[in-house]
């Protein structure tokens, strides 16, 4: 049986640079090519440690999320079920991200800590690296501003995890389309 890959754009907002010491505060995801097929959640912090600059970017307050966010175990179970639902049994989910190493590190850590396994496996596809390789660019040319200028998406980055996941999905879909057109 030939399994197809299902690209799922994922973006997270966190209270700092690394999982385990800092918390994932929100997660947004959507299917590449179908941005309306989306998922969003805000999580209770699992650590009080935070970087004030990171919180400033996200706009979240840890005390508020402690009251309103989902328990991490419930959040990751819901996300796992959503990934399984959109992919079905015949499609292999592939986490796609703009700076995928950062987002994947939190997603992977939370899946293993709270669910026991990561439905994406142990890899992720980084949009910056794909862009560099697919269009024979130098790393300095892979800034998101360069991508936006070159690909002309309709969406923009906002630091809302769902909106950013949808923006990333649009950028990646435009890259795949351009790559296909180039033969």
- Say yes or no to pLDDT of 2 above 60: no
Mean pLDDT of 109-134: 96
Mean pLDDT of 2-20: 92
Picking from 80, 98, 110, 81, the residue whose alpha carbon sits closest to that of residue 15 is: 110
- Catalytic residue list: 159
Give the chain's mean pLDDT. 95
Domain boundaries in the chain? 4-182
Q: Is 82 helix (H, G, I), strand (E, B) or coil?
A: helix
Res 1: pLDDT: 40
Res 182: pLDDT: 84
Mean pLDDT of 18-34: 97
Q: Of all residues in the chain, what percent carry a pLDDT higher than 90?
A: 93
- What CATH number matches the domain at 4-182, 3.30.420.10, 3.40.50.620, 3.10.129.10, 2.120.10.80? 3.30.420.10
Q: For residue 164, what are the CA distances in angstroms to 20, 41, 83, 101, 133?
A: 23, 13, 18, 16, 22
Question: To the nearest 5 percent, what fractions of the chain are helix, strand and coil?
Answer: 50, 20, 30
- Strand ranges inside the chain, DSSP E: 4-14, 24-31, 34-42, 91-97, 125-126
Q: Where would I find the H helices in 31-71? A: 52-58, 62-68
Distance, CA of 9 to CA of 168 (rounded, Å): 6
Res 118: pLDDT: 97
Under a CB-based contact definition with an 8 Å cutoff, are residues 152 and 173 in contact? no
Q: Is 25 helix (H, G, I), strand (E, B) or coil?
A: strand
List pLDDT tens digits, range 130-145. 999 999 999 999 999 9
Confidence class for position 90, pLDDT limits 50, 70, 90: confident
List pLDDT tens digits, range 43-72. 999 999 999 999 999 999 999 999 999 999
- Say yes or no to pLDDT of 99 above 70: yes
Picking from 165, 137, 149, 138, the residue whose alpha carbon sits closest to that of residue 28 is: 165
Confidence class for position 76, pLDDT limits 50, 70, 90: very high
- Say yes or no to pLDDT of 3 above 70: no
């Amino acid at each position: 049986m030939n399994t197809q890959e299902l690209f799922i754009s994922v973006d997270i907002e966190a209270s700092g640079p690394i999982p385990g010491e800092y918390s994932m505060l929100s997660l947004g995801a959507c299917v590449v090519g179908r941005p309306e097929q989306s998922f969003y959640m805000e999580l209770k912090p699992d650590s009080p440690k935070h970087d004030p600059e990171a919180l400033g970017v996200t706009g979240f307050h840890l005390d508020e999320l402690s009251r309103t966010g989902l328990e991490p175990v419930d959040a990751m179970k819901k996300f796992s079920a959503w990934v399984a639902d959109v992919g079905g049994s015949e499609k292999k989910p592939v986490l796609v991200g703009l700076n995928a190493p950062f987002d994947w590190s939190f997603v992977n850590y939370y899946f293993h800590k709270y669910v026991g396994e990561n439905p994406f496996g142990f890899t992720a596809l980084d949009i910056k690296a794909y862009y560099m390789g697919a269009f024979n660019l130098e790393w300095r040319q892979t800034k998101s501003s360069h991508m936006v200028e070159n690909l002309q998406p309709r969406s923009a980055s906002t630091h809302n995890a769902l909106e950013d996941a949808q923006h990333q999905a649009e950028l990646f879909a435009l890259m795949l389309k351009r790559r296909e057109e180039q033969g």
